[in-house]
Chains A and B, each alone.
Chain A
């Protein structure tokens, strides 16, 4: 009961702040809303008995990624006016599409019972050790591929940022 209440609270705030991210004109305000949204998602992870994921969500996304975002926004000093580049004429298209897709989704979700299979509601907290073990046994291969991916991304970022002409 209490859990449902908390879930609804976090979910509503998360969706509301996500909407604010895309509708606010000022990029700094958008960033603040995104931070709020990510924190709500972390809270939902706590409800799902995965404190590790919750904390990592806060650590990585709120603590690092968003700080970098803000850094870029502040350095570039993006003006409000520059953000109005979304072509006005095409807005009606977006406005028309969104309700249609939204209604479709709602119909799918409420139309027929939609249950995730293969899962019992987790009662016990997910232990960090369990997570770590899974990562290094069952998911070893994707884990290693991700490490190569990160290396490639790092090389790419340096290449893009490096000034080659002086």
Chain B
């Protein structure tokens, strides 16, 4: 027997997602163009089913075990991240409902590709072997490349997708090169085996540093960390807005999950070496992302740069290299899904064809006529800026605490300074909304999907800000398992 029933049971959520993606591909043929919303509902249902399965697996007796010859690991860590992915996917699908109709990209494949990407993220979060991690990474990215270029007759979308796919392929190559060197040095691709081999310090030849540089670079591409961020602004700007939100929440969290897994589990003995490189990327991302975001006129571009900055903060958590650091990154990613997708939800609402709703100026005076929308935007922006009592503050707080406990006070101070810079451009929008007179009429895309999504994100952002304890405890438990 090459695999047991337990092996199969432990990948049930993945099977549900991948299977329903395949089935939906066929179902799509039966649904007329006007009723494509069915596809969205079905995809949400399948994600929920996967969530139920994941929840059920939490109580299974093989929790924490590896399956498929050490390729796949089902543990609290991966389950936590899987729930983050489920949330991000469901929210993005809710946001897409109306948008795809408006943009005339109402194709069933849109949702199918999202599900494929989701299954890739899940494989990634559970990958316990560099091989399965690599194929998971590709499975996650490939559908996103396509989704980023989904607006076929929009030049920006094409350009963004093109840059994304070329740089993405390039970064995969770099990552693979790093993986191959690790394999050459340790003779295994299994993370625990890598760690065991590296605990012998004679393996710490300079070639290991090169391997680590390659791997850090490869992962930094995926999380859009400076100097591997070049694709992000164009891809974010060009992609359909719900996909931009999806990109910035799901795959980014997945990339952090795998980074934590690879560096903390596999390369832990070489902590001294990767810590420096991750730190450099983190500092550069915070500085560059936040400063360049100030001068942006397009809100999607601004959020792209801000997401580069946020990647910097999260990288600091990775760099701390403690269980507390892991937990802080996990919490941060969960929070980021809510606040970022919330902000994108407002942008989608504001968007009525063409450029409308993408320029920052167009938010001028929003609060005068539409208090509710402006308030929601205020909450999300405050959260992104890290102002209490929102969730964003708690996220940053835990990361900084992890850093300070590790004795990296200087870095923590730098990060705080950078969030002060970041506060400037977030609050500028708030100021425009509240302090200025409106220039013209506002138009809104109204749909139930967006309302639901905004409701969930708002609740998430506020609730996690006020009482983060429960989720933090979960994250800490999950990080201990690792």
Contacts and interface: CB of A to CB of B under 8 A. Distances in A.
Given A142-B131, A142-B135, A160-B149, A114 B205 contact: yes
Contacts of B68: 140-141
A141 B207 contact: no
A145 B207 contact: no
A119 B71 contact: no
B212 to A, nearest CB: 12
Interface in B14-31: 18, 21-22, 25
A140 B187 contact: no
B119 interface: yes
Given A112-B205, A117-B197, A137-B69, A151 B22 contact: yes
Contacts of A12: none
B152 A148 contact: no
A111 interface: yes
B10 to A, nearest CB: 11
Contacts of A148: 18, 116, 119, 139
Given A116-B187, A117-B186, A155-B109, A142 B206 contact: no
Nearest to B209: A108
Given A116-B187, A140-B69, A155-B25, A149 B135 contact: yes
24 contacts: A108-B206, A109-B207, A114-B205, A137-B2, A137-B69, A139-B131, A140-B69, A140-B71, A141-B11, A141-B68, A142-B131, A146-B135, A148-B116, A149-B139, A152-B142, A155-B112, A155-B116, A156-B142, A156-B143, A159-B107, A159-B109, A160-B146, A160-B152, A164-B105
A149 B153 contact: no
Contacts of B69: 137-141
B333 to A, nearest CB: 23
Contacts of B185: 116-117
B210 A145 contact: no
A145 B135 contact: yes
Interface residues of B, number: 51
Interface string B110-141: 00110011011001000001011011101100
**Most central of A140, A141, A157, A160 by chain B CB within 10 Å:** A141
A165 interface: yes
B426 interface: no
Contacts of A142: 71, 129, 131-132, 134-135
B146 A116 contact: no
A156 B113 contact: yes
Contact of B142 (A137, A153, A165): A153
A81 interface: no
A76 interface: no
Contacts of B132: 141-142, 145
Given A114-B207, A140-B68, A152-B139, A165 B153 contact: yes
Given A145-B123, A145-B139, A164 B205 contact: no
| Majority secondary structure of chain B interface residues (helix, strand, loop or mixed) | helix
Interface in B179-194: 184-188
A132 interface: no
B145 A156 contact: yes
Mostly, the A contact residues are: helix
B72 interface: yes
A44 B2 CA distance: 32
Contacts of B139: 145, 148-149, 152
Interface in A65-114: 104-105, 107-109, 111-114
B459 interface: no
Nearest to A159: B109
Contacts of A117: 184-187, 197, 203
A132 B152 CA distance: 41
B123 A113 contact: no
A133 B109 CA distance: 35
Interface string B195-216: 0010000010111011000000
A164 B110 CA distance: 13
B199 to A, nearest CB: 13
Interface in B58-76: 67-69, 71-72
Contacts of B105: 164
